Amino acid sequence: MTEHDPREDYDDQPWRGRATPEELLRTPASIIAAFGAIQLGFSILGWIASAVIIVWGIFDPAAVDADDMTWYEAVAVLAIVGLLVGWNWLIVRGASRMRHCRQYRLAVLATVLSFFSFPFYYCILISAPVSVWALVVLLRRDVRARFEAVARAGRGVPVPIDSSTRHV
């Protein structure tokens, strides 16, 4: 007899493979890392270009049309672009950690930061849905348990093998 039991407290198909937390996070983490790397590259180029233009304006004010820019405005421009470099570096670093289920807080921070695309805000059309997807996966109980198990293993605490963390 193959009757379906209406109880929801067990797995009807234990033979069917379940995705591991690493498999669930692989795609969103890779997309977030790729967009973060692109944004990081352009942020670094923007910082270098800003610095070159500011230094060039100091030595040859006639060559650069920066008559009204003061030194503190120049420092503010470099600081803002430097902030974007740090922002995108955190996204790339957190996405890398997310892919390997390490440093849960950094992975969540990278996911939240990647929701906002800087310096190219029009990338939000892709980065926002991917960030929501990654956040939903990160909030799953089995994924959080995997991050915790990896953290315990890194501290030398033995990690018991629990097959129930693979099921949701």
Residue identified by tokens 């033979």 is 15
Greatest CA separation for the chain = 90
Q: How far is CA 93 from CA 27, 34, 110, 115, 137, in A?
A: 16, 11, 8, 15, 18
Q: Which pLDDT band, with edges at 50, 70 and 90, does 168 fall under?
A: very low
Q: Which of 24-28, 31-35, 93-97, 154-158 has the lowest mean pLDDT?
A: 154-158
Q: Which of 44-48, 103-107, 162-166 has the lowest mean pLDDT?
A: 162-166
Burial of 37 (0-12, 13-18, 19+ CB in 10 A): middle
Mean pLDDT across 119-127: 81
Q: How far is CA 13 from CA 5, 38, 167, in A?
A: 12, 42, 11
Q: CA 102 to CA 161: how far, in whole Å?
A: 18
Q: Taking the domains of the chain in order of start, what are their residue ranges?
A: 24-156
Quick: pLDDT tens for 46-96.
999 988 888 887 777 776 665 567 778 888 989 999 999 999 999 999 999
Q: Which pLDDT band, with edges at 50, 70 and 90, does 40 fall under?
A: very high
The C-alpha angle 52, 55, 58, rounded to 5 degrees, equals 150
